[in-house]
Amino acid sequence: MQQWIHIVGVVVSVFLAMGIGALVRRLGWLTAEADASLFKLVIRLLMPCLILQAVMGNQSLRALENLALPPVVGYGLCALGIGMAALIARLGPGLTGLATPEQRRTFAVCVGIFNYGFIPIPLVQGLFDRSTLGVLFVHNVGVDLAIWTIGLLVLTGSLGRGWWKRIINPPSVAIVAAVGFNLLDVRPETLGPVWRTIELLADAAIPTSLLLVGATIADELRPDENLYTAGRTTRIISWAVGLRLLILPAIFLLVAHYVAATVELQRVVVIESGQATAVFPIVMARHYGGSPGVAVRVVLASGLLSLLTMPLWIGGGLSLLGLW
């Protein structure tokens, strides 16, 4: 019971931080004009520092099974979700509420791309050790690759020129560098004040990210309301929630049991099993000709309902697999 209470507490604290982000947006304390600068700060500085903190000196990331398998699992889980959602979207507007190709493509990408950073990171930090956090970052390399290959292909019909450049970003570079330093046995404590500075900046990564996520959701609460009837919205949400929060989590737990080769990777997959759809597909839908209205509905519905389902999947999965 104590572990379950701890999971619920961590989940609620994450959503409270996002709610504060939405509130400060409404109050005008965090303006939309500041988003681009803060996002660059998170991606280019704070998140790389958090990655360095989690990976360097991490003994578990000197094992091949924690370096090679997690990206494969991350890519596979994301691709599986997108594929299953794409098949459901083909059932027709009468059943799904998805009336246009843009809506169907957006639905598939939204349901398939689960939260893999801003929410799982604080959950792993609150429940486990640095070893598991480091494996989560390596796992996320595969998720990133899936987003910019199969995700972009489904949403737009093509990869487009220079798609590979999006994979080479500051977090991915930080992961490669940190893994290299770790394999060379570069000890963090030898860096002195530099390492303490990295730790200070790393501590700011997740709070800043969650505030930005909350502010983004606040901006999207009322998009294209005239295009969605209550019936259509209900059908879209029902299929999205059923797949993202009920069917896929069960598959994730099977992968954790039968595919994940280490305790750290099992924990990561169990944490991901309870996740709602990621917020980033809203940005993708806006930028790549998708349906932001569908994206927002899927993100908000799955996010709110995951407050109930996330502790159940994570707590149940950790108990069943003996990972406490």
Round the average pLDDT of the chain to a whole number and report it.
87
pLDDT for the residue numbered 226 = 47
**Domain coverage including residue 191:** 2-320
DSSP states along 204-260: THHHHHHHHHHHHHHHTSSSSGGG--HHHHHHHHHHHHHIIIIIHHHHHHHHHHHT-
Q: Rounded CA gap, 247 and 241, in Å? A: 9
CB 321 within 8 A of CB 256: yes
Confidence of residue 221 (pLDDT cuts 50, 70, 90): low
Distance separating alpha carbons of residues 166 and 4, to the nearest angstrom: 38
For residues 215 and 313, the model is more confident at 313
What pLDDT is stored for residue 244 in this prediction? 96
> pLDDT confidence of 9, banded at 50, 70, 90?
confident
Residue 297's pLDDT is: 87
Residue 186 predicted with pLDDT over 80: yes
Specify the number of domains making up the chain: 1
At 228, is the pLDDT very low, low, confident or very high (cuts 50, 70, 90)? low
Average pLDDT of the segment spanning 239-248: 96
How far apart CA 122 and CA 237 sit, in angstroms, is: 27
User: CA–CA distance from 31 to each of 15, 23, 27, 38, 213 (Å)?
Assistant: 20, 11, 9, 11, 13
Instruction: Report the Cα–Cα distance between both ends of the chain, in Å, rounded.
Output: 12
pLDDT value at position 298? 92
| CB proximity list for 245: less than 8 A, separation 6 or greater | 276, 302, 305, 306, 309
Confidence of residue 129 (pLDDT cuts 50, 70, 90): confident
The answer, yes or no, to whether residue 161 has pLDDT greater than 90, is: no
For the chain, the 3-state helix, strand and coil shares in percent, each to the nearest 5, are 80, 0, 20
**Residue 159 pLDDT:** 67
Encode pLDDT of 256-265 as tens digits. 999 998 999 9
* DSSP 8-state symbol, 297: H
Better-scored residue on pLDDT, 62 or 75:
75
In the beta sheet, which residues pair with residue 277?
A: 114
Instruction: Tell me which residue of 304, 214, 277, 212 sits closest to 19, measured CA to CA.
Output: 214
State the DSSP code for 188.
G
Percentage of the chain modeled with pLDDT above 90: 41
pLDDT in tens, 256-289: 999 998 999 999 999 999 999 987 788 788 777 8
**Which of 71, 216, 70, 235 shows the shortest CA–CA distance to 146?**
71
* Rg (the chain; Cα; Å): 19
Residue 222 has pLDDT above 80, yes or no: no
Q: Provide the CATH number for the domain around residue 68.
A: 1.20.1530.20
Q: Categorize the per-residue pLDDT at 196 as very low, low, confident or very high, splitting at 50, 70 and 90.
A: very high
Cβ 118 vs Cβ 206: under 8 Å: yes
The angle formed by the CA atoms of residues 86, 87 and 90, to the nearest 5 degrees, is 90
